[in-house]
Amino acid sequence: MEWLDEYEKLVIRMNTPRVVIDNAVCPTATLVQVDSARKRGLLLEAVQVLADLDLSINKAYISSDGRWFMDVFHVTDRLGRKLTDASVIAYIQQSLGTWVEPAAAAPPEGLTALELTGPGRAGLLSEVFAVLADMQCGVADARAWAHRGRLACVAHLRADDPADGDGDGRVSRILARLSHLLRGDGVVAPGAVAAVPASGVAHADRRLHQLMSADLHRAAPVPVPVPALAPAVSVQSWAERGYSVVTVQCGDRPKLLFDVACTLHDMDYVVFHGTVDTAAGRARQEFYIRRADGSPIRSEAEREMLTHHLQAAIERRSLEGVRLELCAPDRAGLLSEVTRTFRENGLLVAQAEVSTKGDQACNVFYVTDAAGKAPDRGAIDAVRERVGADRLVVSEEPRPPQQQLYPDASGPGSGGGGGLGLVYLGNLVRRNLYNLGLIKSCS
């Protein structure tokens, strides 16, 4: 009936997220506000859109009251400036203003996608790329992370020989050779490799988190030096309100909120309320969560597991190495040669982001020395000389200027790893609405 169609349209209009982007509220950042009916995973979807645009989230407020959900983010670009590009603003509004999960870039046409985890020994990534080159498989797009002695990689492959019709046989041979590389030695746990449809990897970073989190249960971590500013994570109980309270304090960096939100989502926790503040290069995040079934965390074992996974997720991208950018004509064996050159000069690849644009390879590598520290300048110069100084350049990640939010050491940013205590939620909401410029002071 016609009136039923109109009713359905009304329901859709009422439930469609409303996105407001405002440059007037805050003098130093653009405010992005998302209001909608509550939906599982909406927080992660919103943060994913902002992270994929390389935007920094300086402050955030998250609130889910009954059936309604509101996210407020203070964001800047990579240089710490407000958003002024109309196309970026339109993309955010379009991506967040629908119920559809934001789509990642379409996977490149090719043979398949490979997902692998294994021991993060020196040169393993180079060996993987060498196998693929030997089997005439070009890497069109790939992401790789090394952390706590383990490696995870997601790679989209294309067949360089279109006449080869034995697609399934080629995949089986690739898996067999890579499985041989990833085998354990009895002390280090073996790795695993799988072939999946390229369309099945919706978002490479989210998939890498999932692969490395699963690998935490498979392999005992290799002892590694503790970072000078290791992330402090605490999980407390607020029994009278039925929440568990997660507090994260660590050095600020790009995509930090994405990594935390991704981990909470993948572990089946729902964020009902939360705040994010950054100050002087440090970040503090606080989340009021429940499990997907509506219950808080009750066991010490579950609390420890969540703490462990959050610390690992934060550390994966907290690097002390050097960022190298490679722009060169794409050709067979390029990745194998470059990563072998890194290995021969004592450099470890902690992260790799591989992509191709037309006939150009545009790759980013984060390299460290054997101890996980920034490598010697001589080693970097030696690698650049062999690869080509005009093609391989050292690039520093731009960091936005930090605004001092807490004027003295007694402020929230000064705490250690034990959290900041539990406060009455109504006061927390009002305080953060004021801080985000959404209400005026009544004092």
Residues 285, 276 contacting (CB under 8 angstroms): yes
The model's pLDDT over 240-249, given as tens digits with 9 standing for 90+, comes to 899 999 999 9
pLDDT band at 401 (very low <50, low <70, confident <90, very high): very low
Whether 149 is in a domain gets the answer: yes
The percent of residues above 70 in pLDDT, for the chain, comes to 77
Neighbouring C-beta atoms of residue 182, cutoff 10 Å: 20
Phi-psi region of 149 (alpha: psi -120 to 50; beta: other; left: phi over 0): left
Dist. CA 58–CA 276, nearest whole Å: 7
**Nearest CA to 229 among 311, 128, 303, 112?**
311
Closest listed residue to residue 414, CA positions, set 270, 232, 288, 226: 232
Distance CA(192)–CA(66), nearest Å, equals: 43
Domain contains 3:
no
Average of per-residue pLDDT across 247-258 = 95
Instruction: Count Cα atoms within 13 angstroms, Cβ side, for 268.
Output: 9
4 belongs to a structural domain: no
Task: For residue 143, tell me if it sits in a domain.
Answer: yes
Q: What is the pLDDT of residue 130?
A: 93
In tens, the pLDDT along 40-95 reads 888 999 999 999 999 999 999 999 877 788 899 999 998 999 999 999 999 999 98
Q: How buried is residue 177: exposed, middle or buried, by Cβ count under 10 Å (0-12/13-18/19+)?
A: middle
Q: 76 and 189: one domain?
A: no
Q: Are residues 60 and 180 in the same domain?
A: no
Lowest mean pLDDT among 146-150, 214-218, 357-361: 214-218
Q: What DSSP string describes 11-33?
A: HHHHHS-EEEEESSS-SSSEEEE
Residues 285, 322 within the same domain: no
Tokens of 39: 């939906």
pLDDT at res. 167: 62
Which range (130-144, 157-171, 240-254) has the least confidence?
Answer: 157-171
Between the CA atoms of 36, 262, 269 and 149, what dihedral angle is there, to the nearest 10 degrees? 180
Rounded distance between C-alpha atoms, residue 402 and residue 412, angstroms: 16
* E strand spans, 17-148: 18-22, 30-37, 56-65, 68-76, 112-119, 137-147
pLDDT above 50 (res 356): yes
Query: Are both 216 and 237 inside the same structural domain?
Result: no
Q: What range defines the domain where residue 324 resides?
A: 112-222+318-395
Q: Are residues 186 and 332 in the same domain?
A: yes
- pLDDT digits over 107-133, tens only? 545 458 999 998 888 889 999 999 999
Same domain, 84 and 136: no
Task: Tell whether 324 and 349 lie within a shared domain.
Answer: yes
How far apart CA 223 and CA 218 sit, in angstroms, is: 16
Note whether 217 and 332 are same-domain residues: yes
Per-residue pLDDT, 15? 62
What pLDDT is attached to residue 6?
Answer: 62
Identify whether 347 is part of a domain.
yes
Q: Are 135 and 157 in contact (CB under 8 A)?
A: no
Residue 316 · residue 256 · CB < 8 Å: no
Residues with Cβ within 8 Å of residue 188, at least 6 apart in sequence:
119, 121, 149, 219, 222
Same domain, 170 and 275: no
Q: Which residue in 62, 125, 4 sits closest to 261, CA to CA?
A: 62
As for how many domains the chain has, the answer is: 2
Q: Is residue 363 in some structural domain?
A: yes
The predicted model gives 92-109 an average pLDDT of 64
CATH number of 197's domain: 3.30.70.260
End-to-end CA distance of the chain, in Å? 55
